[in-house]
Structure 1
Amino acid sequence: MNQALVQKIGVMVEPLIKEKGLELIDVEYVKEGAHWYLRLFIDKDGGVDMDDCTAVSHVVSEMLDEKNPIPQAYMLEVSSPGLERPLKKEEDFVRFQGNLVTVLTTSKFMGYEKFIGNLVGLINNEIVLEYNDERISIPRNLVKKAHLAIDF
């Protein structure tokens, strides 16, 4: 995945999404089989619906056609982040304090690569969790992915 392109697209589309009263959660640009996909994940309080996704798809598609930042053909998909919403921005770690989260690390940390616990917050650039009856701090530079977890 071209991280610089993903960041550029995020900067380009975020104002359009905010104008619709929505939040840009994540951007993915991936090749699956023979096709490239640009995926935008959006959200708002109460969740998004098909009308939100369609409206964002139209305005973003027009802007991307005009500015043409992606060199090859791709498919644009706009959707909700789902129940396991990723946590990426500092605001996410404030907003979802107390929620159950999953943190995956890039390499073993404390002997593990996966942690599921209640989010305390983001403190000194470390994700702090209540994990197995103790508080642990995972350096953010070791985090591959952090997202809300579903408690069954």
Structure 2
Amino acid sequence: MITPALEEKLAKYIKGCDCELYDIVMLKEFNQDILRIYITSKEGITLDKCQEVSNLISPLLDVEVPIASKYILEVSSPGIERVLKKPSHFALSLGERVEVKMMDKTILEGVLQECDDEGFVIDSQKIPYSQTKKVKTIFQW
């Protein structure tokens, strides 16, 4: 639903608030459509920062989002345990512990050491993105 051109505009707006666009997710919770925008920043994400970004991008979304139904806009941090989908997500998570669910249902766990456009390395094992089903950071208390 969000076009690449709109995603690029959103990224520019968000960058103006000293943040980076992490991800955009459209989901349904309790029969309500939710457009969730995840943002990151080296300084961390506060509720005030989420509100600032929401106030900035809301008028743009009112005009440009091709969603027929009413929706709720949520701006949030991706959280301490977050799904890694894009090479940029992996780059932001270097040095963190990750759980990898492979296409063959194997589950691996280790420290994310390197990444590039083709795949990533955990505990000296190179894993192509194409062989993974889901990768997420994990936090150990």
Report the equivalent of 1:142: 131
Q: 1:11 to 1:81 in 2, by over 3 A?
A: same
Which of 111, 114, 119 is 1:121 aligned to?
Answer: 114
1:46 maps to what in 2? Answer: 43
Contact 2:110 2:122 in 1 (8 A): yes
Q: State the identity %.
A: 31
Give the alignment's Cα RMSD to 1 decimal. Answer: 2.1
Say if 1:6 and 1:28, in contact at 8 Å, map to a contact too. Answer: no
Specify the SS of the correspondent of 1:108: coil
Amino acid of the structure 2 residue aligned with 1:102:
E
CA contact (8 A) 1:25 1:86 kept: no
Unpaired runs of 5+ residues, structure 2, are none
TM-score by length of 2: 0.85
Paired positions, count: 140
- Give the alignment's TM-score, normalised by structure 1: 0.79
